[in-house]
Structure 1
Amino acid sequence: MEVLEAFFVVIGAGVVLSFILKTVSLLKVLFPKFWYPLPEDFFTSMGQWAVVTGGSEGLGRAYAFQLAQHGMNVVIISRNINKLKKTAEEIENATGKTVKVLAADFSKDNIYEAIENALEDLDIGVLVNNVGMLPTMIPCKFLDTDCLEQRVDEVVNCNTKAMMQMCRIVLPGMEQRGKGVILNVSSGIAVIPFPTYTLYTATKACVDTFSCGLQAEYKEKGIIIQALSPFGISTQMTNNTKPNHLIIAPEDFVKSSLAYLRAGDKTFGSIAFTFMGWLVQMLPIQYLHSEKMQQQLIQFVKERTGIKT
């Protein structure tokens, strides 16, 4: 009897401990500023400059604005020089910080020597690898992608190679100074194999594993490297869909995500996206991978974005 009683005591204690840990985990999601506080001068203490790829609009623009508001000078890199200049002017007028622009098409291979030369003498404290692209605006099966061979090269270059190359360029300076922050933007739907977004989520899953591995390598050097996994954000990638209960404005996501900066190697960046991530991982994979579900998803995105094909 004593052995049986001890067994049930251990089981009960395990259940209570599990409940406590889950409650603490939930509280950390709900109140990140309490659990992961950052000092006022945190970002400027990392360095004088922030570099943001895909920084002319959308999420990249929001990160550039927010980091400038935190006192950092900013380099924004994207392919459209006119959009870059407009965004730079807006940030400088609003914050008084210096903004440099650099035109580069991250879907190409031959751009990194020029980027490296342009960044060579800057004290870079924060790197945001935000640039990314979808193979198509409307999800589809892999072989149904238009210009598939070209798209494979462009998506891999933009979503994964750009991140790795920018880390190669910026990380040595951070290692030498013993401080720095690298944020790599992944995707919430990359937490599972996701049909009709197969190429996109495969590249974003690479962002996750690369970021976590890199953090393990350089954590002891005082460098924070984190993968961010947002779901829907109102940007060009979602056809600028109006923010709602499923879609978050880029400015709101940026403010939220920076509060989770010390929350670990990978975060969803907001309360809503964290719960969405938990839900996606709990759904039966057989349902998500069914032909019916794939067709429903394609139709849903068409209706949500208003794009006709």
Structure 2
Amino acid sequence: MEDRALPAAGFLYWVGASTVAYLALRASYSLFRAFQVWCVGNEAWVGPRRGEWAEEKFKVETRTIAVDFSLDDIYDKIKTGLSGLEIGVLVNNVGMSYEYPEYFLEVPDLDNTIKKLININILSVCKVTHLVLPGMVERSKGVILNISSASGMLPVPLLTVYSATKAFVDFFSQCLHEEYKSKGIFVQSVLPFFVATKMSKIRKPTLDKPSAETFVKSAFKTVGLESRTNGYLIHSLMGSIHASLPRWIYFKIVIGLNKSLRNRYLKKTKKN
């Protein structure tokens, strides 16, 4: 019996040792990647070597094309305005959310809200990318940064249509990156949590709700390194925590939070 047990014990020893080594290697790689992304960064990817033009980029020539992205007949105007420009970096950053968290059927002016959310959050990303991507492919270089949202990582009830549109942006970006990375195009899906902006109605930045300037500086470090990113170290940790929660716990937390925000808004506006 002892002779038979020895080979089995040896086998289990090597299985255990291999598992520990694998986990150690994974942990080491994760730490290395975290250091590379959040400490070293890769800001040169969005520098002048990508081209002379961007939509909005500090210290480069800028042209403004005024359009209302809630409409769907604006893209000929944008195409004309972009004619002759060599665009190296495209930032699809237009976005619209709910006025406040609300149940789908109770969203004010629901038909119009649905149309605006789809036009602004989905159609704009597809159409503007369609206008700019051919030139990037022709030059075999380019960066496209699509601003999704942490609301697109997991479903967010009471922000249902917004969450779904941002999930589209995330999937669209991931697919586009895989299609065109061999042609020198880097497409990134950016999935931030709350940032202190007018849309979020957060005025004072905090550690977990950074200013737009702080977030952008952090997010630029990830370009060329991560095709899908939360863009900010604290947001990345928050994303990992959310993804690891059992789904029923996640939904309980999110619905509870959004119900609280809904009730506060309705009480403030005397609608309930």
Report Cα offsets for 1:82-138 as digits up to 9, x if no partner.
Answer: xxxxxxxxxxxxxxxxx221111111100000001100110100000000101x221
Q: Does 1:5 align with 2:10?
A: yes
Aligned partner of 1:21 in structure 2 is 26
Aligned-residue Cα RMSD (Å) equals 2.2
1:147-226 map, 5 Å? 147-226=109-188
Aligned partner of 1:269 in structure 2 is 231
Q: Which amino acid aligns with 1:166?
A: V
Q: TM-score, normalised by structure 2?
A: 0.89
Report Cα offsets for 1:204-260 as digits up to 9, x if no partner.
Answer: 111111111111111011111000000001111111331113311000000100000
Aligned partner of 1:85 in structure 2 is none
Identity %: 32
CA contact (8 A) 1:180 1:223 kept: yes
Distance in 2, Cα, partners of 1:7 & 1:25 = 27
CA contact (8 A) 2:219 2:231 kept: yes
Distance in 2, Cα, partners of 1:289 & 1:230 = 19
1:26-41 map, 5 Å? 26-32=31-37, 36-39=41-44
Q: Does 1:45 align with 2:86?
A: no
Q: Which amino acid aligns with 1:267?
A: T
Aligned partner of 1:289 in structure 2 is 251
Q: Which structure 1 residue ranges, 5 or more long, are not aligned?
A: 52-63, 74-98
C-alpha displacement at 1:264, in angstroms? 2.3
Bigger Cα Rg: 2
C-alpha displacement at 1:30, in angstroms? 4.2
How many residues were matched structurally?
264
Distance 1:142 1:32, change over 3 A: same
Q: Which amino acid aligns with 1:49?
A: W
Aligned partner of 2:3 in structure 1 is none
Larger mean CA deviation between 233-242 and 7-16 belongs to 7-16
Distance 1:42 1:189, change over 3 A: closer
Q: Which amino acid aligns with 1:248?
A: P
Q: Whose relative contact order is higher, 1 or 2, with alpha carbons under 8 Å and at least 6 apart?
A: 2
Distance in 1, Cα, partners of 2:35 & 2:159 = 30
C-alpha displacement at 1:35, in angstroms? 5.7
CA contact (8 A) 2:46 2:223 kept: no
Aligned partner of 1:79 in structure 2 is none
Distance in 2, Cα, partners of 1:237 & 1:11 = 51
C-alpha displacement at 1:42, in angstroms? 5.2
Please give the secondary structure, in 2, of the residue aligned with 1:184.
strand
Distance in 1, Cα, partners of 2:91 & 2:199 = 18
Aligned partner of 1:142 in structure 2 is 104
Q: TM-score, normalised by structure 1?
A: 0.79
